[in-house]
Structure 1
Amino acid sequence: MTDARGPAYRRLDVDERRAQLIALGEKLFTSSAYSELSMARIAREAGISKALLYHYFPSKQAYFQATLQAAAEELRARTEPDATLPPAQQLERSLDVYLGWIEEHREGYEKLLITVGEVPEVRAMVEEVRSSTATRILGGIAGEGVAVPPGARTAVRGWLWFMDGACLDWIAHRDLSRDELRGLLLGTLFGALMASGSTEVVQALTAAAATAAADG
């Protein structure tokens, strides 16, 4: 006999509810400006009371930061270098995965960089991601335990800012392929390192890439 009452309601546990809210946050902050959203509207979209939303996130800013943190962790996991590859190939592969992530989240990426100027805590989080990315790149190209020349550090950190600008132009116009953009970004990084006087680093990278291509 069929139960006319339909499926029984299942209360979500804390982790499930939080994950559900973070997934919703990515959609909301992508489709609306940060200033347009209120906790009341977010609660309505989630189908929960405002009090329950505040139980998970004490403020809209905390909610927004949680959605960014989740995205940053996903991106960090995706772009983790493959230690079995030469440094140049590690960088190329991680960059390609990063561009693929931007293609999947282009609206959110664009709004994120706009919001950076509005929320100091978000700016600090983005800067932390840039800093850790620069450290990872420099560690890969200089080698473990090798002192990084100041010029190389400046070149890489400046390149990360350039990359954001190039990616924003890419998603706005879509008249470059992903391969073309990846090549442009790698060439710009190598050029910046050369201009910084880090010629040995660039030569080591290109030699490793050539060796890997010959072996492949």
Structure 2
Amino acid sequence: MSNSRAPQELNPRSGGTRRDPVARGSYRRLSVEERRAQLITAALGLFAHSAPEDISLDDVAAAAEVSRPLVYRYFPGGKQQLYEAALRSAADELELCFAVPRTGPLTHRLAAALDRYLAFVDEHDAGFSALLQGGSVVETSRTGAIVDEVRRAAADQILTHLQVPEPGPRLRMMVRTWITAVEAASLIWLDEGKRPPVDELRDWLVDHFVAMLTATSASDEQTARVTRAALAMELPDGAAGRLARAVLPVVSDAAHLL
């Protein structure tokens, strides 16, 4: 049986075998799923360091070492469809960042999740904003929904770590606000030339979570219960203990307010 229908073997212009030496030299028969994944990976590598509008399908084809018509064969919607597929792939990876084991102190889990998240930000560098934060000419309601899904999934993971199946509006708002702060801090960190060091950024964001959780506890009983349970698992030499020791001298100067 002829294999002339295999998309990676045909030159769509002539109907014959592709003659491009680069593509022929790197050719390996891939399944539909493998070829699609290859193109998405190539696109992600380009989108990671440049805005999507600055990347052409020719760029993607060259990065994947295939022909431009082959890219269209798998993504007939052109760059917009490929961008959405790449964004979906990145979103799937980011959603897993907060899915760390539910053991140990909460601050340890947050630090582990942030290590994953910030590693993704670091790897994708200048393209992080265009890829996940919008502002691109290829942004649509679909891409916006994918990005929002990442934020909601991260918030749900945090609430799972807090063991709160039915969070009230204040606790949920606090968690979602922190997720937004993590995104904003990541973008500022890139803009500042990745300063301070990533481990300092991580610890600072963990401190922010503890501070926001504690502040919200003052006006919300559900959050207060969650905070007590979370702090009971913390170690004296852990993140929460370190933060408490650093803050106490500062707030003691405001003893006249008590």
TM-score, normalised relative to structure 2: 0.69
Which ranges in structure 2 are unaligned for 5 or more consecutive residues? Answer: 1-23, 218-222, 239-258
**What stretches of structure 1 move > 6 A for 4+ residues in a row?**
none
Query: What is the distance in 2 between the residues matched to 1:93 and 1:189?
Result: 14
Paired with 1:117 and 1:39, the residues of 2 have a C-alpha distance of 16
- Comparing 197-206 and 57-66, the one that deviates more: 197-206
More displaced 10-residue stretch of structure 1: 31-40 or 166-175: 31-40
Alignment length, in residue pairs?
A: 206
Counterpart-to-counterpart distance in 2, 1:72 and 1:132? 10
Q: CA deviation at 1:90?
A: 1.9
Cα displacement string for residues 50-73 of structure 1 (whole angstroms, at most 9, x for unaligned residues): 432222113222211111222222
Q: Structure 1: which amino acid aligns with 2:147?
A: V
Residue 35 in 1 paired to residue 57 in 2?
Answer: no
Alignment partner of 1:68 out of 70, 87, 90: 87
Identity %: 34
126, 129, 146: which is aligned to 2:150?
Answer: 129
Alpha-carbon RMSD across the aligned residues, in angstroms, is 2.7
8 A contact 2:102–2:161 mirrored in 1: no
Instruction: Tell me, yes or no, if structure 1 residue 187 matches structure 2 residue 207.
Output: yes
* 1:109 is aligned to 2:134: no
Gaps of 5+ in 1: 1-5
| 1:3 corresponds to | none
Show the counterpart of 1:87: 106
TM-score, normalization by structure 1:
0.81
Greater gyration radius: 2
Whole-angstrom distance in 2 between the partners of 1:182 and 1:68: 24
Say whether the 8 Å CA contact 1:80–1:94 is kept in structure 2: yes
2: distance between equivalents of 1:117 and 1:202?
Answer: 39
Higher helix proportion (structure 1 or 2): 1
In structure 1, what is the equivalent of residue 176 of structure 2? 157
1:180 to partner: Cα distance: 1.5
The question of whether the paired residues in 2 share the 8 Å contact of 1:134 and 1:156 is answered with yes
Equivalents in 2 of 1:167, 1:194: separation in Å? 23
Report if aligned partners of 1:116, 1:122 keep a CA contact under 8 Å in 2. no
> Does structure 2 retain, via aligned residues, the 8 Å contact 1:30–1:108?
yes
- Number of the residue aligned with 2:159: 138
Does the CA contact (< 8 Å) of 2:52 and 2:136 recur in 1? no
Cα deviations by residue, 1:60-110 (Å, 9 ceiling, x for unpaired): 222111112222223334542113334332222112221222222222313
Q: Rate the CA distance shift 1:18–1:200 in 2: closer, same or farther, 3 A.
A: same
In the alignment, structure 1 residue 210 sits paired with structure 2 residue 230: no
8 Å contact kept, 1:130–1:160: yes
Structure 1 residue 56 corresponds to structure 2 residue 81:
no
